[in-house]
Amino acid sequence: MSGTATRRLLALSPFSRRAETSAPVAARSAFQCLRTQQFSHTSRQRADEDEEKPSSAAPSAPSSTNSLFGSNSSDKRSLGRGGDSLSRLSSIFEEGQVQSNPYRRPFPDAHSYNTLGALSNQAVERYEEPHHFHVFASKHNCHITLTKPNRDPIMAVSCGNIGFKKSQRKHYDSSFQLASYVLGRMKDQGLIPQIKKMEVSLRGFGEGREAVTKALLGTEGRLIRGKIVKVSDATRLKFGGTRSPKPRRLG
């Protein structure tokens, strides 16, 4: 710290008078010299003038600042220029809060939240669960199950129910006839007008998978084809688990 700054701090310090009285006689002359210097007198005079004259440019400090630093004149004198600068900073901060920022996105209020909630509720109410057409095509048989939107079964038929026995159930022809039988039965029972939407769920990689798909795309599925809104694959995949069976050895 330079000598000039040290002298200013000593001149502005409230303990300078106490230091003068408690200092020895040899050091008192130095303190008196510091007090008679031009810079110390002008700095104190400027601080007193700033406290007495209200600043016209900057608005008054908020009540929280006054309560924090107190309204005593002795406290203001001890603060000096620091209190004035703090009041200016606080006023500038308040002005910045009052001014609206055009680039800032407004925080949504309760009305907008209610509007968003109403829109989401309308979207949920608008969605209707479709009927489900489950096809389980294993390597030995083919099963078709028609369910309601709440997953209650309407009919469940396999190749064995329409007259195919043993190894005849796994062929392409038996699965195609099963799909034709189910679609014809849906038409006879009057289920097609009741179905607004339908989801086709395929499971397994047997020959019945391709056979039922051909039946739905052919003349047998012309009445229900336009109501299919979703086709999903529900084939189960193995993650770890027990050891697979030993592959069959032929020959």
Domain ranges of the chain: 1-53, 58-99, 131-233
Provide the pLDDT for residue 194.
94
**What are the residues whose beta carbons fall under 8 Å from the beta carbon of 101, sequence distance 6 or more?**
none
**pLDDT tens column, 83-93:** 566 667 667 66
| Dist. CA 107–CA 148, nearest whole Å | 44
pLDDT of residue 9 exceeding 80? no
Q: DSSP string of 108-143?
A: P-HHHHHHHHHHHHHHHHH--PPEEEEEEE-SS-EE
For residue 215, name the pLDDT band (cuts at 50, 70, 90). Answer: very high
Q: What topology is assigned to 131-233 in CATH?
A: Nucleotidyltransferase; domain 5 (3.30.420)
- Bridge partner residues of 241 (DSSP): none
Q: What angle do CA 10, 2, 34 make, to 5 degrees?
A: 35
| Dist. CA 39–CA 2, nearest whole Å | 14
Mean pLDDT over 39-60 rounds to 55
**What are the residues whose beta carbons fall under 8 Å from the beta carbon of 138, sequence distance 6 or more?**
170, 204, 206, 208
Which of 6-20, 43-57, 149-163: highest mean pLDDT?
149-163
For residue 241, name the pLDDT band (cuts at 50, 70, 90). Answer: confident
| Dist. CA 17–CA 217, nearest whole Å | 105
| Dist. CA 104–CA 154, nearest whole Å | 57
| Dist. CA 222–CA 226, nearest whole Å | 8
For residue 142, name the pLDDT band (cuts at 50, 70, 90). Answer: very high
Of the ranges 4-13, 149-158, 232-241, which one carries the lowest mean pLDDT score? Answer: 4-13
Provide the pLDDT for residue 71.
47
Beta strands in 129-226 (DSSP E): 131-137, 142-147, 153-158, 198-203
Tokens 């849906």 belong to: 186
Provide the pLDDT for residue 68.
44
**pLDDT tens column, 100-118:** 555 555 555 555 556 666 6
Which position has the higher pLDDT, 1 or 236? 236
Mean pLDDT over 138-150 rounds to 96
For residue 230, name the pLDDT band (cuts at 50, 70, 90). Answer: very high
**pLDDT tens column, 121-135:** 665 567 889 999 999
Mean pLDDT of the chain: 74
Which of 4-18, 108-122, 175-189: highest mean pLDDT?
175-189
Provide the pLDDT for residue 79.
47
- Tell me which residue of 224, 219, 172 sits closest to 199, measured CA to CA: 224
